[in-house]
Amino acid sequence: MGDYTVKKDISEMSLAFVGAGKMAQAMAKGFLAAGVVKADHITATAPSCRSQPTLEDIGCQFTHNNKEAVENSDIIFLSVKPHILPGVLQEIAPVVTKRHLMVSVAAGVPLQFLEEKLPPKSRVMRVMPNTPCVVRQGASVYVPGSHVEKEDSEIIKSLLSSLGYCSESNEGMISAVTGLAGSGPAYMIQKRGFCSDTYKDPVYVAIGLGGMGQAYAFTAIDALADGGVKMGLPRELSIKLAAQTLLGASKMVLETGKHPMQLKDDVCSPGGTTIYAIHKLESGGFRNLLIDAVEGACLRAEAIA
């Protein structure tokens, strides 16, 4: 580890995203929208040029060279897929110094593993964000590693707070947070309304979909929070993550103009945590239940009119 003086001011810092995919782009866009980091202070890397236009459109730098990106940056977000991460750590370890705050967003890769693969005393953190960071309604938790300083946690807290709700957590909880908030937008985006052609009166349909929708949403928040509690999260954190996830997913639908299923597909990696959760939802008839709920409220509104 060299004698580099660690910067304290976020606006002076350079950020690198090693892995320029969906999560990296959501975070980079969120940071720029929040104005906490300048675009020319962000570099993203990927082996192919697939993400290059998107990143260049928002003014970031793009490179294929992971080591160069690390060498030129202060905070390094490790945003490759978990199975790619070991190889990336081996590749960049020789250039990681005291200057670097290494922040992994990878699901399921423990701090101990990250610390072992990087030089001794590296400043390492884990963060579990979600894609609504792009509309600054994300829900994130961060977990400091063994050699992280108080200022590092403060910096990450400020950065993540600019992307929505954020809270410090401990590593024992991070898988539950992944299941609730990290993958959560896909469940929420999945939960769209449907109205049958049979019930054409827009007032009744609006009652079924919009009016009662709040009750469905409250129930969904409560059920997601129960899931978080079941998997070990404190109730208060679990409710906040669930509510923020619903808010963030809704804002993504309204602001991006993308179809909800496109947004759902965006967060379902092949073999990843989210598609497993979606399978559970489909097995339980999640969409059918919501369609039935809208229809039931609509019919009842007509019946009592």
CA distance linking residue 248 with residue 87, whole number of Å:
32
Using CB under 6 A as the binding rule, whether residue 258 contacts ligand NAD is answered as no
Of 130 and 137, which CB lies nearer to ligand NAD in the complex structure? 130
Using CB under 6 A as the binding rule, whether residue 14 contacts ligand NAD is answered as no
Give the count of residues interacting with ligand NAD (CB under 6 A): 29
Q: How far is the CB of 126 from ligand NAD (least distance, A)?
A: 10
Using CB under 6 A as the binding rule, whether residue 293 contacts ligand NAD is answered as no
Using CB under 6 A as the binding rule, whether residue 176 contacts ligand NAD is answered as no
Using CB under 6 A as the binding rule, whether residue 220 contacts ligand NAD is answered as no
* Phi, psi at 23, each rounded to 5°: -70, -40
Of 36 and 88, which CB lies nearer to ligand NAD in the complex structure? 88
CA distance linking residue 161 with residue 159, whole number of Å:
6
Using CB under 6 A as the binding rule, whether residue 182 contacts ligand NAD is answered as yes
Of 73 and 298, which CB lies nearer to ligand NAD in the complex structure? 73
* Phi, psi at 267, each rounded to 5°: -100, 5
Beta strands in 156-197 (DSSP E): 164-168
Q: How far is the CB of 173 from ligand NAD (least distance, A)?
A: 14
Checking 252-260 for CB contacts under 8 A at 24+ apart, the result is 252/131, 252/132, 252/134, 252/135, 252/137, 252/185, 252/189, 253/189, 253/192, 255/135, 256/134, 256/135, 260/189, 260/190, 260/192
* Phi, psi at 103, each rounded to 5°: -125, 110
Q: Cα–Cα distances in Å, from 97 out to 121, 122, 123, 182, 188? A: 9, 7, 9, 29, 40
Nearest to 68 by CA among 60, 58, 76: 76
Of 79 and 190, which CB lies nearer to ligand NAD in the complex structure? 79
Of 125 and 205, which CB lies nearer to ligand NAD in the complex structure? 125
Of 128 and 293, which CB lies nearer to ligand NAD in the complex structure? 128
14, 73 contact by CB (below 8 A): yes
- 165 pairs with which residues across the strands? 139
Q: How far is the CB of 15 from ligand NAD (least distance, A)?
A: 15
Of 8 and 64, which CB lies nearer to ligand NAD in the complex structure? 64
Q: How far is the CB of 3 from ligand NAD (least distance, A)?
A: 28
Indicate which single residue of 43, 73, 131, 238 sits in contact with ligand NAD (rule: CB under 6 A).
131
The binding track of 110-129 with respect to ligand NAD, each residue x by CB under 6 A or -, is ------------------xx
249, 189 contact by CB (below 8 A): yes
Note the residues at the interface with ligand NAD (CB under 6 A).
Answer: 18-24, 45-48, 51, 66, 79-82, 84, 88, 105-107, 128-131, 182, 267, 269
